[in-house]
Amino acid sequence: MKDIFGKYQQEFEAELKLFLEKETAQRDGMSKGSMQSLFEPVKYIMANGGKRIRPLLLMLSCETFGGNPKDAVNAAIAIEILHNFTLVHDDIMDNANTRRGKETIHKKWDINCAILVGDELIGLSYRSLLKSKTTRIREIIRTFTDGVIEVCEGQALDKEFEIKDNVSISDYYLMIRKKTAELLKTAATMGAIIGGADKNNIDAIREYAENIGFAFQIHDDLLDVIANETKFGKKIGGDIIEKKKTFLYLKALEVLDDEQKSELIKLFNSEIAPAEKIEKVVKVYTDNCILESAKKEIKKFTEKANTLIDKMNIKSSRESLSGFSDMLLNRNY
DSSP 67: -
- pTM for this structure? 0.92
Q: Does the pLDDT value for residue 30 go beyond 80? A: no
Q: What is the pLDDT of residues 165-208, one digit of tens each?
A: 899 999 999 999 999 999 999 999 999 999 999 999 999 999 99
Domain ranges for the chain: 2-328
User: Could you confirm whether domain 2-328 is CATH 3.40.50.720?
Assistant: no
Tell whether the torsion through CA atoms of 148, 64, 13 and 209 is positive or negative.
positive
Q: Does the pLDDT value for residue 4 go beyond 70? A: no
Sequence-distant (≥ 6) Cβ neighbours of residue 254 within 8 angstroms: 169
Q: How far apart are CA 184 and CA 121, in angstroms?
A: 18
Q: Is 52 left (phi over 0), alpha (psi -120 to 50) or beta?
A: left
By CB atoms closer than 10 A (0-12, 13-18, 19+), residue 116 is middle
Proportion of the chain above pLDDT 90, given as a percent: 77
Q: How far apart are CA 285 and CA 293, in angstroms?
A: 10
Q: How far apart are CA 40 and CA 44, in angstroms?
A: 6
Strands (E), the chain: 98-99, 102-103
Query: Which residue type sits at 303?
Result: E
Q: What is the pLDDT of residues 37-68, one digit of tens each?
A: 999 999 999 998 778 999 999 999 999 999 99
Phi, psi of 103 (to 5 degrees): -60, 140
Q: What is the pLDDT of residues 76-100, one digit of tens each?
A: 999 999 999 999 999 999 888 888 8
Q: What is the pLDDT of residues 95-134, one digit of tens each?
A: 888 888 899 999 999 999 999 999 999 999 999 999 999 9
Q: What is the pLDDT of residues 284-329, one digit of tens each?
A: 999 999 999 999 999 999 999 999 998 898 877 678 888 888 888 8
By CB atoms closer than 10 A (0-12, 13-18, 19+), residue 327 is middle
Q: How far apart are the first and last CA of the chain?
A: 11
DSSP 103: E
How confident is the prediction for the chain on average, in pLDDT?
92
